[in-house]
Structure 1
């Protein structure tokens, strides 16, 4: 008798949830070994940052124009990131939209602090990590149903993603599974669909194990360097992320290669070779993933 094929990925790996964690414990159990963790009220329960709401941003910054991404209405490029939003709208109109109804429209890597510098005073990063890039906090807004497709961050930094309103589903995969996830060469992306994996097309996915969790208001999820992440907005949501450099030199060198050299080389070859370059990357992703099967 032939065993029935699984219809979903194995996402049963555990993630710790902690609160009031000391620097010593965070470094020992999570930063040095590069293990994900959910930290409750990282900035302290009384931090002003937890008072940020949709109404607050609509009142303070509703007049500015923001770049909006919408995967459903755009030509998807599985092997690369969108570097510029294809359309703009008033921030206030966008915030009203995502609260009214489900929508795939989202804002990401939005430097809201550039428009209101005093927001930096609303939080102070706790002394649990070193080389924290507090000068570069980035905000994320999305409506119910919006999805940030699976990828690894190009700069290979560690990420502290804090949810302020709403709920997000976060799916994580250890970078040791990069090849089994059919990562495109010269890219930090893959074509797999976390919610509807095609095991016939991508048989190596059977060997992958991940983490499936939800973060809500006051939660910060620590995503170590190079970890793959897929994010869904279960409700309209807003959050922001602070990055820090990995304590491991290898992670930093990989980030330098990816940002400083790899992405530019990929763009050049894509422009020069077009579909032939993408076809080569697709073949090699499959070959690397299934070479050990």
Structure 2
């Protein structure tokens, strides 16, 4: 038995009016296949180009090890020169990923290669972020702290994206006081006997290739798996729904700091308690659903 995932709709291209009517207002994801072919990035951005212009930069790397109490928020697991990291990606599979690498701050000349699309949303122009990964590396299932609308542009290789709306959170084994699900769930190939609530979650899936744009509606859970080495860039717009905006404020100004404080006070016991509560809460809701 597999996850209940429907293919994300694919469009060749979309006007602003079509995007707002068909996808933004109903908050539905979409893949736009040919939207950026007039960007210089479409023909220029590959590993060799990144290595050439950013090879000297030291980059933060993350793998798929579970969260530990003594690690800070988004603290990297390793660091490496970009040229060495690109060589590693091209040479062999690796779990090391780069995420939230600020293009404007790190390599300002890259901003000449792309445009901020006009989809009728005000994009946060100071926050274009790059993400890199090797074959079979993946993110944990998570949603972003600010519940932003995300425009995710993919370059090089292939990437699988699994999405769930916030309405499915009750089935996903969400960790309390956190933005992730249980880290021992492989959403690309889940054990549905061990994690039975996942059978009831209704989500979306798409495979991205070079030049594809994925719109991720605000607050959507997402799991990204690199089928081959590749990289992506995300542009963001603040959530428009008052409930999501309120959640974002709570996450940024309270939840994150509360969680860090509890890690310092209780150590690994806090992490273990949260992991246990994720299962207890999810299975309790599952029982109530079938009463």
Native 8 Å contact 1:78 1:189 kept in 2: no
2:263 aligned residue: 270
The Cα of 1:95 is off from its aligned counterpart by 0.5
Residue 179 of structure 2 is aligned with which of 171, 188, 191? 188
| Equivalent residue runs for 1:64-75 within 5 Å | 64-71=57-64, 74=65
The Cα of 1:111 is off from its aligned counterpart by 1.4
The Cα of 1:81 is off from its aligned counterpart by 8.4
Q: Quote the Cα distance in structure 1 between the aligned partners of 2:268 and 2:209.
A: 41
Structure 2 gaps of 5+ residues are none
Q: Deviations over 1:232-251 (max 9, x none)?
A: 11111021110111221211
The Cα of 1:283 is off from its aligned counterpart by 4.2
Q: Judging changes above 3 Å, is the alpha-carbon distance between structure 1 residues 119 and 64 closer, same or farther for their aligned structure 2 residues?
A: same
Residue 134 of structure 2 is aligned with which of 127, 143, 147? 143
Counterpart of 1:21 in 2: which secondary structure?
coil
Asked if 1:217 corresponds to 2:207, the answer is no
Give the TM-score, by structure 1 length: 0.89
Counterpart of 2:60 in 1: which secondary structure?
strand
Q: Deviations over 1:187-209 (max 9, x none)?
A: 11111321342334332112112
Q: Judging changes above 3 Å, is the alpha-carbon distance between structure 1 residues 263 and 226 closer, same or farther for their aligned structure 2 residues?
A: same
| Equivalent residue runs for 1:115-126 within 5 Å | 115-126=106-117
1:152 aligned residue: 143
The Cα of 1:273 is off from its aligned counterpart by 2.2
Q: Judging changes above 3 Å, is the alpha-carbon distance between structure 1 residues 129 and 287 closer, same or farther for their aligned structure 2 residues?
A: farther
Asked if 1:130 corresponds to 2:121, the answer is yes
Q: Deviations over 1:16-71 (max 9, x none)?
A: 1113311111111111211110012333x221121211111111111121112222
Number of equivalenced pairs: 282
Residue 4 of structure 2 is aligned with which of 10, 26, 37? 10
2:92 aligned residue: 101
2:236 aligned residue: 243
Native 8 Å contact 1:31 1:247 kept in 2: no
Counterpart of 1:150 in 2: which secondary structure?
coil
Asked if 1:84 corresponds to 2:75, the answer is yes
Native 8 Å contact 1:142 1:236 kept in 2: yes
Q: Quote the Cα distance in structure 2 between the aligned partners of 1:90 and 1:172.
A: 32
Native 8 Å contact 2:103 2:111 kept in 1: no
Counterpart of 2:259 in 1: which secondary structure?
helix
Q: Quote the Cα distance in structure 2 between the aligned partners of 1:77 and 1:145.
A: 19
The Cα of 1:165 is off from its aligned counterpart by 1.1
Asked if 1:46 corresponds to 2:43, the answer is no
Native 8 Å contact 1:204 1:289 kept in 2: yes
Q: Deviations over 1:124-159 (max 9, x none)?
A: 222113121122100111111211121111111111
2:56 aligned residue: 63
Asked if 1:204 corresponds to 2:194, the answer is no
Q: Quote the Cα distance in structure 2 between the aligned partners of 1:168 and 1:133.
A: 24
Structure 1 gaps of 5+ residues are 1-5
Q: Quote the Cα distance in structure 2 between the aligned partners of 1:40 and 1:268.
A: 44
1:22 aligned residue: 15
Q: Root-mean-square deviation (CA), in Å? A: 2.0
Asked if 1:286 corresponds to 2:290, the answer is no
